[in-house]
Amino acid sequence: MTAWPELRIADWRDTYKTLQLYAQIVGKIRLALTPKTNEWWNVPLYVTPRGLTTSTMPYGERTLSIDFDFLDHQVVVGDSDGHVRRIPLKPMAVCDFHEALFAELAAIDVRVRIGGKPQECPVTTPFAEDHEHASYDAAAVGRYWGALRRIEPVFQRFRAGFRGKCSPVHFFWGACDLAVTRFNGRRAPPRESKIDRDAYDEECISLGFWPGDPWTGASEAFFYSYTVPAPQGLAAARVGPRGASFSDTFKEFVMPYDDVRRAADPAAAILEFAQSTYDAGATLAGWDRAGLAYP
Protein backbone atom coordinates (compact mmCIF):
# COMPACT_ATOMS: atom_id res chain seq x y z
CA MET A 1 0.00 0.00 0.00
CA THR A 2 1.37 3.41 -0.97
CA ALA A 3 1.80 5.66 2.07
CA TRP A 4 -0.38 8.73 2.28
CA PRO A 5 1.75 11.89 2.02
CA GLU A 6 2.75 13.98 5.00
CA LEU A 7 1.21 17.47 5.09
CA ARG A 8 2.68 20.01 7.47
CA ILE A 9 1.74 23.65 7.19
CA ALA A 10 5.27 24.80 8.00
CA ASP A 11 6.63 22.89 4.99
CA TRP A 12 4.56 24.70 2.39
CA ARG A 13 2.88 27.80 3.84
CA ASP A 14 4.08 30.21 1.16
CA THR A 15 3.24 27.83 -1.69
CA TYR A 16 -0.17 27.09 -0.18
CA LYS A 17 -0.97 30.81 0.05
CA THR A 18 0.00 31.38 -3.57
CA LEU A 19 -1.88 28.31 -4.81
CA GLN A 20 -5.00 29.38 -2.92
CA LEU A 21 -4.92 32.75 -4.68
CA TYR A 22 -4.32 31.11 -8.08
CA ALA A 23 -7.32 28.85 -7.41
CA GLN A 24 -9.49 31.81 -6.48
CA ILE A 25 -8.77 33.49 -9.81
CA VAL A 26 -9.77 30.36 -11.71
CA GLY A 27 -12.77 29.80 -9.45
CA LYS A 28 -14.02 33.34 -9.96
CA ILE A 29 -13.92 32.76 -13.72
CA ARG A 30 -16.15 29.72 -13.22
CA LEU A 31 -18.44 31.80 -11.01
CA ALA A 32 -18.68 34.49 -13.69
CA LEU A 33 -19.45 32.12 -16.57
CA THR A 34 -21.85 29.59 -15.04
CA PRO A 35 -25.53 29.94 -14.09
CA LYS A 36 -26.16 30.35 -10.37
CA THR A 37 -27.31 27.09 -8.82
CA ASN A 38 -28.58 26.10 -5.38
CA GLU A 39 -26.08 26.21 -2.52
CA TRP A 40 -23.55 27.84 -4.90
CA TRP A 41 -22.83 24.51 -6.59
CA ASN A 42 -21.78 26.39 -9.72
CA VAL A 43 -18.77 27.79 -7.85
CA PRO A 44 -16.44 24.91 -6.84
CA LEU A 45 -13.72 23.09 -8.73
CA TYR A 46 -13.56 19.30 -9.10
CA VAL A 47 -10.87 16.69 -8.61
CA THR A 48 -9.54 15.00 -11.77
CA PRO A 49 -6.93 12.26 -12.28
CA ARG A 50 -4.35 15.04 -12.77
CA GLY A 51 -5.45 17.89 -10.53
CA LEU A 52 -8.46 20.20 -10.42
CA THR A 53 -10.88 21.44 -13.05
CA THR A 54 -13.60 24.02 -13.49
CA SER A 55 -15.47 21.35 -15.49
CA THR A 56 -17.33 22.53 -18.60
CA MET A 57 -18.27 26.23 -18.67
CA PRO A 58 -20.49 27.85 -21.32
CA TYR A 59 -19.21 30.75 -23.39
CA GLY A 60 -21.54 31.80 -26.19
CA GLU A 61 -21.83 28.86 -28.57
CA ARG A 62 -18.63 27.34 -27.19
CA THR A 63 -17.70 25.58 -23.99
CA LEU A 64 -14.39 25.75 -22.20
CA SER A 65 -12.57 24.51 -19.12
CA ILE A 66 -9.56 25.52 -17.05
CA ASP A 67 -7.55 22.75 -15.41
CA PHE A 68 -4.79 22.65 -12.84
CA ASP A 69 -2.48 19.82 -13.85
CA PHE A 70 -0.44 18.90 -10.77
CA LEU A 71 1.44 16.11 -12.52
CA ASP A 72 3.02 18.23 -15.26
CA HIS A 73 2.55 21.41 -13.17
CA GLN A 74 0.69 23.58 -15.61
CA VAL A 75 -2.68 25.26 -16.09
CA VAL A 76 -4.48 24.14 -19.24
CA VAL A 77 -7.16 26.25 -20.92
CA GLY A 78 -9.16 24.42 -23.57
CA ASP A 79 -12.34 25.00 -25.52
CA SER A 80 -14.76 23.09 -27.74
CA ASP A 81 -13.19 24.59 -30.90
CA GLY A 82 -10.00 22.68 -30.15
CA HIS A 83 -7.90 25.51 -28.74
CA VAL A 84 -5.46 24.52 -25.99
CA ARG A 85 -3.36 27.07 -24.10
CA ARG A 86 -0.89 26.27 -21.31
CA ILE A 87 0.66 28.21 -18.44
CA PRO A 88 3.55 26.60 -16.52
CA LEU A 89 3.06 26.39 -12.77
CA LYS A 90 6.26 27.71 -11.26
CA PRO A 91 7.29 30.45 -8.84
CA MET A 92 5.24 33.35 -10.20
CA ALA A 93 3.61 36.35 -8.55
CA VAL A 94 -0.16 36.25 -8.34
CA CYS A 95 -0.37 39.36 -10.50
CA ASP A 96 1.71 37.64 -13.21
CA PHE A 97 -0.43 34.50 -13.05
CA HIS A 98 -3.55 36.67 -13.33
CA GLU A 99 -2.11 38.48 -16.35
CA ALA A 100 -0.95 35.27 -18.04
CA LEU A 101 -4.29 33.49 -17.56
CA PHE A 102 -6.35 36.34 -18.93
CA ALA A 103 -3.94 36.72 -21.84
CA GLU A 104 -4.44 33.06 -22.74
CA LEU A 105 -8.20 33.46 -22.50
CA ALA A 106 -8.04 36.54 -24.73
CA ALA A 107 -5.95 34.56 -27.23
CA ILE A 108 -8.92 32.26 -27.82
CA ASP A 109 -11.34 35.21 -27.77
CA VAL A 110 -12.75 34.67 -24.27
CA ARG A 111 -13.47 37.87 -22.35
CA VAL A 112 -14.61 37.61 -18.76
CA ARG A 113 -14.65 39.95 -15.77
CA ILE A 114 -14.21 38.74 -12.21
CA GLY A 115 -14.21 40.24 -8.75
CA GLY A 116 -10.67 41.47 -8.37
CA LYS A 117 -10.05 40.81 -4.67
CA PRO A 118 -9.45 37.56 -2.76
CA GLN A 119 -12.00 36.08 -0.38
CA GLU A 120 -11.87 34.00 2.81
CA CYS A 121 -8.28 35.02 3.57
CA PRO A 122 -6.50 38.08 5.03
CA VAL A 123 -5.23 39.31 1.65
CA THR A 124 -6.91 42.50 0.46
CA THR A 125 -4.56 43.32 -2.41
CA PRO A 126 -6.28 42.79 -5.77
CA PHE A 127 -5.00 39.81 -7.75
CA ALA A 128 -3.74 42.08 -10.52
CA GLU A 129 -1.55 43.98 -8.04
CA ASP A 130 -0.29 41.16 -5.81
CA HIS A 131 3.49 40.89 -6.16
CA GLU A 132 3.97 39.45 -2.68
CA HIS A 133 2.69 35.89 -3.12
CA ALA A 134 4.93 34.17 -5.66
CA SER A 135 5.93 30.75 -4.29
CA TYR A 136 5.44 27.42 -6.01
CA ASP A 137 7.13 24.31 -4.63
CA ALA A 138 6.16 21.54 -7.06
CA ALA A 139 7.05 18.76 -4.60
CA ALA A 140 4.84 20.29 -1.90
CA VAL A 141 1.94 20.72 -4.32
CA GLY A 142 2.46 17.11 -5.36
CA ARG A 143 2.08 15.98 -1.75
CA TYR A 144 -1.09 18.02 -1.35
CA TRP A 145 -2.44 16.58 -4.59
CA GLY A 146 -1.47 13.12 -3.35
CA ALA A 147 -3.78 13.63 -0.37
CA LEU A 148 -6.66 15.10 -2.39
CA ARG A 149 -6.72 12.34 -4.97
CA ARG A 150 -6.84 9.70 -2.22
CA ILE A 151 -9.54 11.46 -0.21
CA GLU A 152 -11.91 12.25 -3.08
CA PRO A 153 -12.83 8.60 -3.89
CA VAL A 154 -13.51 7.94 -0.21
CA PHE A 155 -15.87 10.90 -0.07
CA GLN A 156 -17.56 9.51 -3.19
CA ARG A 157 -18.12 6.21 -1.40
CA PHE A 158 -19.69 8.01 1.54
CA ARG A 159 -21.85 10.09 -0.81
CA ALA A 160 -23.18 6.92 -2.46
CA GLY A 161 -24.88 5.81 0.75
CA PHE A 162 -27.46 8.60 0.73
CA ARG A 163 -30.81 8.65 -1.05
CA GLY A 164 -31.62 12.33 -0.52
CA LYS A 165 -30.32 15.55 -2.04
CA CYS A 166 -26.53 15.56 -1.86
CA SER A 167 -23.85 17.83 -3.26
CA PRO A 168 -21.12 16.60 -5.57
CA VAL A 169 -17.72 16.05 -3.98
CA HIS A 170 -16.28 19.45 -4.76
CA PHE A 171 -13.36 21.73 -4.01
CA PHE A 172 -14.21 25.15 -2.61
CA TRP A 173 -11.45 27.49 -3.72
CA GLY A 174 -12.18 30.10 -1.07
CA ALA A 175 -10.45 28.06 1.63
CA CYS A 176 -9.17 25.09 -0.43
CA ASP A 177 -11.42 22.54 1.27
CA LEU A 178 -12.87 19.40 -0.31
CA ALA A 179 -16.43 18.73 0.81
CA VAL A 180 -19.61 16.73 0.29
CA THR A 181 -22.89 17.78 1.91
CA ARG A 182 -26.11 15.88 2.62
CA PHE A 183 -29.49 17.64 2.92
CA ASN A 184 -32.74 16.43 4.47
CA GLY A 185 -35.11 18.70 2.52
CA ARG A 186 -36.23 20.87 5.44
CA ARG A 187 -35.66 24.61 5.32
CA ALA A 188 -33.07 25.97 7.73
CA PRO A 189 -33.37 29.27 9.61
CA PRO A 190 -32.19 32.10 7.31
CA ARG A 191 -28.69 33.47 7.81
CA GLU A 192 -27.57 37.08 7.60
CA SER A 193 -25.10 37.09 4.72
CA LYS A 194 -26.28 36.41 1.16
CA ILE A 195 -23.63 33.73 0.62
CA ASP A 196 -24.56 31.84 3.79
CA ARG A 197 -28.27 32.35 3.16
CA ASP A 198 -27.95 30.42 -0.11
CA ALA A 199 -25.36 27.92 1.10
CA TYR A 200 -27.35 26.89 4.18
CA ASP A 201 -30.97 27.37 3.11
CA GLU A 202 -31.69 23.74 4.02
CA GLU A 203 -30.72 21.62 6.99
CA CYS A 204 -27.52 19.80 6.14
CA ILE A 205 -24.60 17.73 7.37
CA SER A 206 -21.28 18.37 5.67
CA LEU A 207 -18.12 16.27 5.54
CA GLY A 208 -14.89 17.92 4.47
CA PHE A 209 -11.13 18.01 4.37
CA TRP A 210 -9.17 21.22 4.97
CA PRO A 211 -5.38 21.33 4.51
CA GLY A 212 -5.00 23.79 7.39
CA ASP A 213 -4.42 27.51 7.80
CA PRO A 214 -1.44 28.88 5.88
CA TRP A 215 -2.09 32.46 6.94
CA THR A 216 -1.56 31.99 10.68
CA GLY A 217 0.03 28.55 10.67
CA ALA A 218 -2.14 27.72 13.68
CA SER A 219 -4.07 24.78 12.19
CA GLU A 220 -2.75 21.65 10.55
CA ALA A 221 -4.74 19.61 8.02
CA PHE A 222 -7.88 17.92 9.33
CA PHE A 223 -11.18 16.33 8.36
CA TYR A 224 -14.35 18.00 9.60
CA SER A 225 -18.05 17.40 9.96
CA TYR A 226 -20.75 19.82 10.99
CA THR A 227 -24.54 19.86 11.22
CA VAL A 228 -26.65 22.92 10.32
CA PRO A 229 -28.45 23.96 12.39
CA ALA A 230 -26.42 22.34 15.17
CA PRO A 231 -28.79 20.33 17.41
CA GLN A 232 -28.57 20.47 21.18
CA GLY A 233 -26.13 17.92 22.55
CA LEU A 234 -24.06 17.57 19.38
CA ALA A 235 -20.78 18.58 21.01
CA ALA A 236 -21.12 15.80 23.57
CA ALA A 237 -21.86 13.06 21.04
CA ARG A 238 -19.42 10.16 20.85
CA VAL A 239 -17.88 9.68 17.40
CA GLY A 240 -15.05 7.64 15.92
CA PRO A 241 -12.40 6.71 15.22
CA ARG A 242 -10.04 7.37 18.09
CA GLY A 243 -8.64 10.87 17.70
CA ALA A 244 -11.88 12.41 16.44
CA SER A 245 -13.39 15.05 18.70
CA PHE A 246 -15.60 18.11 18.79
CA SER A 247 -13.59 21.32 18.40
CA ASP A 248 -14.74 24.24 20.54
CA THR A 249 -12.67 26.49 18.26
CA PHE A 250 -14.27 25.43 14.99
CA LYS A 251 -17.63 24.32 16.43
CA GLU A 252 -17.52 21.05 14.49
CA PHE A 253 -16.16 17.55 14.71
CA VAL A 254 -12.55 17.27 13.57
CA MET A 255 -10.05 14.49 12.98
CA PRO A 256 -6.39 15.24 12.26
CA TYR A 257 -5.20 14.28 8.80
CA ASP A 258 -2.00 13.00 10.38
CA ASP A 259 -4.01 10.43 12.36
CA VAL A 260 -5.68 9.25 9.19
CA ARG A 261 -2.53 8.90 7.12
CA ARG A 262 -0.91 6.84 9.89
CA ALA A 263 -3.93 4.53 10.24
CA ALA A 264 -3.68 0.92 9.07
CA ASP A 265 -6.55 1.68 6.67
CA PRO A 266 -6.88 5.45 6.07
CA ALA A 267 -10.00 5.10 3.91
CA ALA A 268 -11.76 3.09 6.63
CA ALA A 269 -10.83 5.72 9.21
CA ILE A 270 -12.35 8.48 7.07
CA LEU A 271 -15.53 6.47 6.49
CA GLU A 272 -15.88 5.77 10.22
CA PHE A 273 -15.51 9.46 10.97
CA ALA A 274 -17.98 10.37 8.20
CA GLN A 275 -20.62 7.86 9.24
CA SER A 276 -20.37 8.35 13.00
CA THR A 277 -20.56 12.13 12.78
CA TYR A 278 -23.46 11.91 10.32
CA ASP A 279 -25.26 9.47 12.62
CA ALA A 280 -24.75 11.78 15.59
CA GLY A 281 -25.99 14.90 13.81
CA ALA A 282 -28.86 13.22 11.98
CA THR A 283 -30.14 11.46 15.10
CA LEU A 284 -30.05 14.53 17.31
CA ALA A 285 -31.59 16.71 14.58
CA GLY A 286 -34.42 14.26 13.93
CA TRP A 287 -33.57 13.30 10.36
CA ASP A 288 -35.35 10.33 8.75
CA ARG A 289 -32.18 8.27 8.71
CA ALA A 290 -33.82 5.08 7.50
CA GLY A 291 -35.70 6.83 4.69
CA LEU A 292 -32.63 8.75 3.54
CA ALA A 293 -30.25 5.79 3.56
CA TYR A 294 -29.36 4.20 0.22
CA PRO A 295 -28.26 0.57 0.50
Contact 142, 70 (CB under 8 A): yes
Q: What pLDDT is stored for residue 195 in this prediction?
A: 83
Q: What is the mean pLDDT of the chain?
A: 97
**Residue 236: what pLDDT?**
97
- Determine the Cα–Cα distance for residues 62 and 82; give it in Å rounded to an integer: 10
Beta bridge partners of 187: 202
Confidence of residue 1 (pLDDT cuts 50, 70, 90): low
* pLDDT greater than 60 at residue 137: yes
* C-alpha distances out from residue 2 to 52, 223, 256, 270, Å: 22, 20, 19, 17
Q: Which pLDDT band holds residue 177 (cuts at 50, 70, 90)? A: very high
pLDDT, residue 130, reads 98
Mean pLDDT across 158-171:
97
pTM for this prediction: 0.96
How many CB atoms lie under 10 A from the CB of residue 3? 9
49-53, 121-125, 195-199: the lowest-pLDDT one: 195-199
Query: What pLDDT is recorded for position 47?
Result: 98
What is the distance between the alpha carbons of residues 278 and 205, in angstroms, rounded to a whole number?
7
* Cβ atoms within 10 Å, residue 273: 25
